[in-house]
Structure 1
Amino acid sequence: MAATTHTVTNQAPPLVGYDVYTSDRALTEAVERHVAPELLEEAREELRELGRTAGSSQAQEWGAQANENPPKLRTHDRYGNRIDEVEFHPAWHRLLGHAVSAGLTNAWGRPAGHVRRAAGFLVWTQAEAGNGCPLSMTHASVPALRTDPALAAEWEPRLTSQVYEEGLRPASLKAGALFGMGMTEKQGGSDVRANTTRAEPIAGDGEYLLTGHKWFCSAPMSDGFLVLGQAAGGLTCFLVPRVLQDGTRNVFRIQRLKDKLGNRSNASSEVEFDGTWARRVGDEGRGVRTIIEMVAATRLDCVLGSAALMRQSVAQAIHHSAYRSAFGGLLIDKPLMRNVLADLALESEAATALALRLAAAYDADTEEERAFLRLAVPAAKYWVTKRCTPTVAEALECLGGNGYVEESGMPRLLRESPLNSIWEGSGNVQALDVLRALQREPQALNAFLQEVGKARGADHRLDGAIKDLLTELADLNGIEARARRLVERMALVLQGSLLVRWAPPEVADAFCASRLGGDWGAAFGTLPHTLDLASIVDRARAVV
């Protein structure tokens, strides 16, 4: 009976065996735009290799296995000794190891390092987003450690190494190391100045013992952690090694692993410090100042991670629609579905263009670009991460009931999608950070306006949006209550400027008509029907 009735037809083949990098025209064009010509071929080749691996059936299987077999906490060994280890499925180690070997923890000090790493991070996250946490924190810890040259000399070579070594042993015995962090506590959350962890100095120079708890300690299998604690001089940054130099384990009591909505392949934990040995990083009382560049770098990775989730979900939706027939034709040819897909593609391309522009500013590292990042990073973090969940949810709907089934991979993307809007400060924190920069750092606003002004005169809708933004910025009455609206407009104007300058005319036209011109509904799929939607969809299609 099954042999004669169970004939499978009108199902899309899996999107597998393709190059995630070269099939993403928005990303490849951004890399070519921001990487110097003499470095371009080398960058292309490394990203193509990573893209082929990310799109392979093997990497997709690793991602599925790592999520189906989440990490397990082992607090004690068989004899009752406290070990506080986290056990991961082998697929997790393969994913993380490949990412480290591809240089995703190493942007500092190599030519075009931030753009190349950003592109690679965006590619690899599409295979599995969970390993992004240790990759991001290891990468972002470098500028914080550089406030102490001795610590930087000791740790930076390991953190930027492209060798992955799992297991707990002294970091000095490992060719490569990973970092986590523990900033937030139960009573404070984002308000880290409310932290109560105590730091008491001991005999050694810069050595302390910590006592307290961390409500969220990410990647607890790492070799070291940057944490905040209250010293005599105020809130201070510390480095907590997981294993001490003599081979004994530092006091690092993992109370439990968080049972999370998504990001299930990655371990997030609650830890207790009780006489835990630590080294001070930076001066006492300067903890927030010490980690501020780390926070900015991880916020950029939130933008990249969301852009990756958006890109993968849009690629899946277009792929499905190119094979699935309904009501007498392919879904991709239906005017209404084409409108939805084009709208999703616009959101994805705008996120990618913005993320890579931020990475290029890190590479430039000029005074003007640093001022630009001061506003652009929190604005982008606010907006792109906010747009991720509705984008992924709409893309899932394009697959119909198939998209709601775990085997499609879309539910995993949807569960992952809210994370980056919460990690490293939720929406209100980002909006308030933008206000703080506007009020205290006028050079940041000047750099931001110079950037968006580079496209002035090219599109009347963009010009109108810039004019409206300037009007909003001039009115400080009730500014905190309307901060979200202001930051949204800043992000959209910046995205519009980038697309008008660099994207194909049909993409820029559609973005400005909808996001800036007001001809856009509350849901996806409400673009003006007169636009060249077919070209936008074709551009975003991942070809196997």
Structure 2
Amino acid sequence: MMLAATFAARRTAVKHLLPPVTLAVTLATRREYSRDSSTSPPKSTPWEHFRPQQIIQLTSTGGTSAETPADGGLRPSVSSSWSSRASVLHHRFHPSLAGVEKPRSVVNGDGYSFDPDTAGFIQEAYQVDHPFAGDSGLRNIIRRHTPEKHMAEFYENLCHLGTKAIGPLARLGASAEANEPYVMSHDARGRRVDRLVTSSAWRELRRQSSLEGIVSVAYGADRERLGAAARVLQMARLFLFSPDTAIYACPLAMTDGAARAIELFGDDDMKKHIFPRLTSRDPDVFWTSGQWMTERPGGSDVGNTETEAMLDTEPTSQLHEALPWSLHGLKWFSSATDSDVAMVLARARDPETGDVVRGSRGLSLFLTPVRLPSETPASEEVRAMCPTSAKPAATSPGQSPWDSPGPCLSSVDSCAIEGTSGLEGDLAAVTIDHEDDLPLNGIRILRLKDKLGTRALPTAELRLSGTRARMIGAPGRGVASISPVLTITRLYTAMQCAASSRRAHLRAIGFSKVRKAFGVPIARLPAHARALARNEVTTRAASAFVFEVAALLGRTEQIPMRDGRPAVSLSPDQRVDEAVLRLLTPVVKMYAARLGTQACQASVEAFGGAGYIETNGMARYLRDTQVGTIWEGTADVLSADVVRVLRRGGVPVLMMTALEQYVERLTERALNHCTPETDTLAVAAQLCRQSASRLRDLSSHAMSPTFEARAQAFAMAIGRLVSSACLVDVAAASVGGQWSGRERDVEAALRWTGHTVEDILGQELLDSERLGSLHPMTEETASQPEEWELQRMNADSVLVFGQPMHG
């Protein structure tokens, strides 16, 4: 119980001012039958039958409006002003604008009165469909991985969350973005307190993520009931939750990773007292976790970690017995600084000799509470906050009005989120003197990072000075213990990028229908329509790839584990799944982040000048997706990880053979139900198999040092291959099941796959044309590929630095 007591941290209330914002939501349900070309009658499944839609409507007046469409149904709308910097869905609050009234009319020389705010052209409102029920591409991707017996449950749950995501949750996200976190270094009496102040909207997002079970659905009773599909449902919820909630997916990712690490490597006390909190649906019990790895010498190169851990061999208190290690060092980039606990990599000193092992082999993984109860007799009130007297951790999901999906779309126009009082505007934090805050656990917040994006997410530079912690796993096994955490956090990052790019794309589609140029809607301009079609395929490919890896993770988590290793003999399919998951985890993060950033950039461009304006909200998608290319490893770092996976065991072809078998499994449906002569899907399936075989052959050179120069191209080729196979698989399932939107599924798969192996693998990997005529592949160099690659590497170095890399 002492361990539980030392990890307690009570969150005190902070009062906020709520200036008004012209943002309102009206929701309704519209029933619509499938309009496929098929003459078969509509199927009696919610995935086909009902199309509830959430419409985001941007108007020029900033008022609430409800529009009646041609079919007579009431379409919900979210209205906001394009002209006012302080009244839009995504914006930043400027105190200087508060209380300033604009002139309502101007009288000209002829005595004619007009309103300058409404005179001239005003852009017509545009509408965006419900992010789940109105998006057949996303629906069919998720449906492909949903067991038949859970179809209705998943559909109802995701309809409900989709409605909530673009209504009250989006308002919370906007408020959190408008009120960025800050650090109060000293209190009113001059004491150094390093108090991190966040908005109530940010804290409410924490509550809502717990109520929605974003983390908990992958564990406990839900995982036992849903099996491998638990991760699919989790990622589907995250897909809907994350784009407009100020990147709160980041602390959830690290919380999920910490839960998995404790489940695999934690001791009994951690599993009893900490794990239930990380996976709870009760907001009063739920804890979040940080992940503090990055230091000044480097982020991805953890072997240079400077933070050290020293064991207290003669503890002087129960607290020191529960947390026997003390950490000393500086963590340069620590996301989710407001978390309750954190996972920390540190170099453990030998208790007897005082020596440390350099490099990654000397690292251990630690769990540390961010705050600790004081041990002085005068801290009785502080001790009362500990879990011994607080509400016990729930072992099963708690019940709340928000837990019940209810109708797919219900009115939330005037509905206040549980635990909040009014969300009709920005939240301006009002700091009060927190006399009852628990003290930080030997942590000093040096500063918050001023970042390009993710502005609402508190990311800090921390100094650890005697921070009490407990080791997870065995000494010197920190990298191995953190590996399952990275698998989860990389998947979350990939899903965040795919989700944000899809949400931005849907908004660009809606805008193109009402924005006119040269007398017609820009949706009817061939060049713009082609750009939207290209983005449609790109966002589908990223989404299909990420959900496939989520399903793969769900299957591998069904394998019983002991000390981080399988406790049973694996079947051939399970061995393939484990190998492919290790290979695809860095690839999906790199590939989805690359595609997501490109797609968000295209969507911003689709809005023209309006997309570049902060009040439009599109720029935030681009900024927040851009971090996905850096979080959890840059493209070069992840490509190097792919090379390490290939080289493991000294036979790279073995790993690529497993991937080839996996691609054959993905394309099996298209080949079984079709023939190359009658269905183009089968041709695409065969092309994926040919590309996998070619990629396996190219991997035979992975042991060569020069292969690293082509590692990123190789990893990108894997991403294009697997995403192509995923789209083919979804299209085949859609055609076989006569799903709504199947024609579009087939078209997307064919466009992404292309016509040749080169379309999938890319010319950069297959030949030297990228370098022009400087070092072309000749008959002489073709017989000496390593020498030719060395010439290319030297050419790269000469071009950038003016001197060759190798003499």
Query: What's the TM-score, normalizing by structure 2?
Result: 0.61
Structure 2: distance between partners of 1:291 and 1:430: 16
Moved over 6 A (4+): 519-522
Q: Which amino acid aligns with 2:253?
A: S
Structure 2: distance between partners of 1:394 and 1:301: 23
Given that 2:183 and 2:194 are in contact with CA atoms closer than 8 Å, whether structure 1 keeps it comes out as: yes
- Structure 1 partner of 2:662: 451
Q: 1:206–1:267: structure 2 CA closer, same or farther, 3 Å change rule?
A: closer
Q: Which amino acid aligns with 2:187?
A: D
- Unaligned ranges ≥5, structure 1: 166-174, 523-544
- Structure 2 partner of 1:283: 474
Given that 2:348 and 2:364 are in contact with CA atoms closer than 8 Å, whether structure 1 keeps it comes out as: yes
- Structure 1 partner of 2:640: 432
Match of 2:348 among 215, 218, 231: 231
Structure 2: distance between partners of 1:515 and 1:189: 39
Structure 1: distance between partners of 2:619 and 2:466: 42
- Structure 2 partner of 1:209: 326
Given that 1:95 and 1:131 are in contact with CA atoms closer than 8 Å, whether structure 2 keeps it comes out as: yes
- Structure 2 partner of 1:27: 138
CA shift, 1:201, in A, is 0.4
Given that 2:500 and 2:596 are in contact with CA atoms closer than 8 Å, whether structure 1 keeps it comes out as: yes
Match of 1:345 among 536, 543, 552: 536
Structure 1: distance between partners of 2:760 and 2:475: 53
Given that 2:323 and 2:468 are in contact with CA atoms closer than 8 Å, whether structure 1 keeps it comes out as: no
- Structure 2 partner of 1:525: none
Match of 2:503 among 297, 302, 312: 312
- Structure 2 partner of 1:164: 283
CA shift, 1:148, in A, is 1.8
- Structure 2 partner of 1:300: 491
1:189-221 deviation per Cα after TM superposition (whole angstroms, max 9, x unaligned): 211111111111013377201111100111111
Structure 2: distance between partners of 1:4 and 1:290: 63
Q: 1:221–1:184: structure 2 CA closer, same or farther, 3 Å change rule?
A: same
Q: 1:189–1:421: structure 2 CA closer, same or farther, 3 Å change rule?
A: same
Structure 2: distance between partners of 1:101 and 1:83: 31
Q: 1:26–1:5: structure 2 CA closer, same or farther, 3 Å change rule?
A: closer
Given that 1:138 and 1:159 are in contact with CA atoms closer than 8 Å, whether structure 2 keeps it comes out as: yes
CA shift, 1:436, in A, is 0.8
Structure 2: distance between partners of 1:417 and 1:162: 28
CA shift, 1:135, in A, is 0.9
Q: 1:5–1:290: structure 2 CA closer, same or farther, 3 Å change rule?
A: closer
- Structure 2 partner of 1:252: 443
CA shift, 1:7, in A, is 4.6
| Bigger Cα displacement from structure 2, 211-220 vs 508-517 | 508-517
- Structure 1 partner of 2:236: 119
| Bigger Cα displacement from structure 2, 494-503 vs 96-105 | 96-105
CA shift, 1:444, in A, is 4.1
Q: 1:461–1:338: structure 2 CA closer, same or farther, 3 Å change rule?
A: farther
SS in 2 for 1:311: helix
CA shift, 1:64, in A, is 2.1
Structure 2: distance between partners of 1:521 and 1:277: 50
Structure 1: distance between partners of 2:755 and 2:123: 33
Q: 1:278–1:510: structure 2 CA closer, same or farther, 3 Å change rule?
A: same
CA shift, 1:453, in A, is 2.2
- Structure 1 partner of 2:272: 153
Match of 2:549 among 320, 341, 358: 358
Q: 1:397–1:372: structure 2 CA closer, same or farther, 3 Å change rule?
A: same
Q: 1:2–1:86: structure 2 CA closer, same or farther, 3 Å change rule?
A: farther
- Structure 2 partner of 1:483: 711
User: Are positions 1:422 and 2:630 aligned together?
Assistant: yes
CA shift, 1:291, in A, is 0.7
Given that 1:74 and 1:87 are in contact with CA atoms closer than 8 Å, whether structure 2 keeps it comes out as: yes
Given that 1:115 and 1:356 are in contact with CA atoms closer than 8 Å, whether structure 2 keeps it comes out as: yes
- Structure 2 partner of 1:472: 698
Given that 2:330 and 2:464 are in contact with CA atoms closer than 8 Å, whether structure 1 keeps it comes out as: yes
Taking only aligned residues, the RMSD between alpha carbons, in angstroms, comes to 2.3
- Unaligned ranges ≥5, structure 2: 1-112, 316-320, 351-361, 375-381, 383-437, 557-573, 672-681, 732-744, 764-807
Given that 1:358 and 1:376 are in contact with CA atoms closer than 8 Å, whether structure 2 keeps it comes out as: yes
1:422-465 deviation per Cα after TM superposition (whole angstroms, max 9, x unaligned): 01111111101111111116664333221212327622543453
- Structure 2 partner of 1:531: none
Q: 1:2–1:451: structure 2 CA closer, same or farther, 3 Å change rule?
A: farther
| Bigger Cα displacement from structure 2, 87-96 vs 483-492 | 87-96
Q: 1:385–1:516: structure 2 CA closer, same or farther, 3 Å change rule?
A: farther
User: Are positions 1:3 and 2:214 aligned together?
Assistant: no
1:124-159 deviation per Cα after TM superposition (whole angstroms, max 9, x unaligned): 112224211111111111121120232122211100
Given that 1:144 and 1:293 are in contact with CA atoms closer than 8 Å, whether structure 2 keeps it comes out as: yes
CA shift, 1:344, in A, is 0.3
Q: Which protein is bigger by CA-based radius of gyration? A: 2
How many residues are paired up? 511
Q: 1:8–1:137: structure 2 CA closer, same or farther, 3 Å change rule?
A: farther
1:284-330 deviation per Cα after TM superposition (whole angstroms, max 9, x unaligned): 11111111000111000111011011101111111110121222322
CA shift, 1:84, in A, is 2.4
CA shift, 1:407, in A, is 1.4
SS in 2 for 1:161: coil
Match of 2:522 among 325, 331, 345: 331
| Bigger Cα displacement from structure 2, 389-398 vs 296-305 | 389-398
Q: Which amino acid aligns with 1:500?
A: V
Structure 1: distance between partners of 2:152 and 2:189: 55
CA shift, 1:12, in A, is 4.4
- Structure 2 partner of 1:506: 747
Q: 1:298–1:12: structure 2 CA closer, same or farther, 3 Å change rule?
A: farther
Q: How does 1:91-102 map to 2 (within 5 A)?
A: 91-102=201-212
1:489-523 deviation per Cα after TM superposition (whole angstroms, max 9, x unaligned): 0110001111112132211111122896649999x
Structure 2: distance between partners of 1:236 and 1:310: 37
Given that 1:379 and 1:488 are in contact with CA atoms closer than 8 Å, whether structure 2 keeps it comes out as: yes
- Structure 2 partner of 1:391: 599
Give identity over the alignment, percent: 31
CA shift, 1:254, in A, is 0.7
| Bigger Cα displacement from structure 2, 298-307 vs 126-135 | 126-135
Match of 1:108 among 207, 210, 219: 219
Structure 1: distance between partners of 2:748 and 2:758: 14
CA shift, 1:372, in A, is 1.5
User: Are positions 1:73 and 2:183 aligned together?
Assistant: yes
- Structure 1 partner of 2:89: none
Q: Which amino acid aligns with 1:103?
A: G
CA shift, 1:40, in A, is 2.5
Query: What's the TM-score, normalizing by structure 1?
Result: 0.89
Given that 2:657 and 2:696 are in contact with CA atoms closer than 8 Å, whether structure 1 keeps it comes out as: no
Q: 1:519–1:135: structure 2 CA closer, same or farther, 3 Å change rule?
A: closer
User: Are positions 1:412 and 2:623 aligned together?
Assistant: no
SS in 2 for 1:482: helix
Q: Which amino acid aligns with 1:153?
A: K
Q: 1:447–1:10: structure 2 CA closer, same or farther, 3 Å change rule?
A: farther
